[in-house]
Amino acid sequence: MVVKTKKGYFQVLKNVKDAFNLEIFEECYIEEWYDQFIYIVGDISDSKLRLKGFSANPAAKEYFEYIPDYLIEACNYKPAYFILKKTTEEYYNEHKDEKETEEITKGDTQIPHIEKEAFDKDSLVLLHTQKSAPHIVLDMNSLNAVKTYPLPDDLANEILKDKQAELNQRRHKPNNRNRNNR
C-alpha cells in the first residue's frame, strides 16, 4: 500500500497490529531529521508513536537490515509497529489503487524469546562473509579478558617519585637489629 502524506510519499511495507495512523505520523515526522532516511520504522510504546530512520548505506549505523534487531532490542515485546519506505510521486500514482502489497502473517508479528547471556562484547569478531549469511565468532583469547591501559604520565611520575622516596628512606634508616646484637 502506498500513502500520500504532508511529508511525502511512502510505501507501507509492514503494518503490524494496525500501528500506522496517518495523522499521528505527520505530527511526529520532523523533515529536518527524517528526510535523510529511506526507511522509517514507527512503534507504539506507552501509547506514543516513536519513529526511527534507517538508510540504504551498508556502512551506516542505521542500515535498514538492522530493523529486525531494532525491533527486538529497542522496542516492547510484540510491539505494534510499521515500516515505511520513502517513494516518489510517480510510484504513488502507479500504485495508489493497490491494497496492501504484502500480507502480514502471524509469524511476522512474533519475536522469538532470546535468552541473554553475559559475555564481553569486545570478544565478538564479525568475519567477512556473504551479505545473506553473516558469521559471528567469539574470540576466546579476549573473552572476559581484563583490559589494561597505560597510566597517564603525570600519575606514573608521581608513583615513581613515591617509590624513590621510599627507597631513600630505607637506605638512610639505621638498622637497629645489627646494633642490638653487638
Closest CA to 77 of 43, 28, 105: 43
Return all residues near 107 (Cβ < 8 A) that are at least 6 apart.
none
pLDDT category of residue 117 using cuts at 50, 70 and 90: low
Q: How high is the pLDDT of residue 20? A: 92
Determine which of 8-12, 95-99, 101-105, 129-133 has the lowest per-residue pLDDT on average: 101-105
Mean pLDDT along residues 104-114 = 48
15 has pLDDT over 70: yes
Q: How high is the pLDDT of residue 123? A: 58
CA dihedral of 10, 12, 18, 22, whole degrees rounded to 10: 10
Domains in the chain, start-ordered, CATH in brackets?
A: 2-113 (3.50.4.20), 117-182 (no CATH)
> What is the pTM for the complete model shown?
0.53
How far apart CA 164 and CA 64 sit, in angstroms, is 59
Q: Which amino acid is residue 103, in one-letter code?
A: E
pLDDT in tens, 40-89: 999 998 889 999 999 999 888 899 999 999 999 998 888 899 999 999 88
Q: Are 26 and 51 in contact (CB under 8 A)?
A: no
Mean pLDDT estimate for the chain = 78
Question: Which set of grid coordinates corresponds to residue 39?
Answer: 526507511
30 has pLDDT over 80: yes
Q: How high is the pLDDT of residue 152? A: 80
pLDDT in tens, 137-166: 666 666 666 666 777 888 888 888 888 888
